Amino acid sequence: MPLTSDLFAPPIAILSALPQEQRGLIGLLHKPRKLHHASREFWLGELHGQPVVLALSRIGKVAAATTTTALIERFGVRRIVFTGVAGGLGEGVKVGDVVVATDFVQHDLDASPLFPRYEVPLYGKTRFHCDAALSALLFEASSKALAHESLATHGFHDACVHQGLIASGDRFVSSAEESRSLHDLLAGAGHAVLAVEMEGAAVAQVCMDYGIPFAVMRTISDRADDSAHVDFPGFVEAVASRYAHLIIGNFLNLLSKK
């Protein structure tokens, strides 16, 4: 049984990929309450006047799918927003930028020759789309955040927000050769990918199965090249957590006006 009922507004799920991003949001919760379910911690409370559930997706597609299913089945969420980091693949997508997803593809899915490469078997599709209305709000929230003067201290004066396709796979892409190969393979199949990460496509697929609106933003932490493993830890601690704090705050404030 879900923890919410029709008598109460269903909470919005805010998924974070990493603890550093979630930590700041937990600190802002009004009347926080921690629950354990499916070997995970979930934080319930209010954030910017909205009922929310905060959760970590954990790393990889299977873990993210489990967390998403738990949010829907156990906590009765009716909207899910994901904040995390990604490696930039698309031309002009640089460190410090934000990508708001329009849809997702699994770059490591290949059931050929039974099905075309990248197509999810028995779904008849390769891409899973995000909710247009939620994504528009998240794009606006991200744009406002990047204009915030506090982010200029990190040196990303020309950071911008992109919107487009993101690829997910159970691999941390960390070499220039692999990055180029991945970009070219996907482009050759008609998938112009802006960024690569490890969870979003799984969350999008679960949300489609349940009919749950879903939106995601990814801060570009590296260019998925040979320096990715060096850039990643410091960037998440110093920059991505601040991005998540500002963007989610803007998003919830915009949502409250709808």
Q: Can 103 be counted among the known catalytic residues?
A: no
* Catalytic choice (21, 97, 119, 131): 21
Q: Can 222 be counted among the known catalytic residues?
A: yes
* Catalytic choice (103, 199, 222, 225): 222
- Output the 3-class SS for the chain: CCCCCCCCCCCEEEEECCHHHHHHHHHHCEEEEEEEECCEEEEEEEECCEEEEEEECCCCHHHHHHHHHHHHHCCCCCEEEEEEEEEECCCCCCCCCEEEEEEEEECCCCCCCCCCCCCECCCCECEEECCHHHHHHHHHHHHHHHCCHHHHHHCCCCCCEEEEEEEECCCCCCCHHHHHHHHHHHHHCCCCEEEEECCHHHHHHHHHHHCCCEEEEEEEEECCCCCHHHHHHHHHHHHHHHHHHHHHHHHHHHHHCC
CA distance 132 to 213: 9
Which amino acids are annotated catalytic? 21, 222
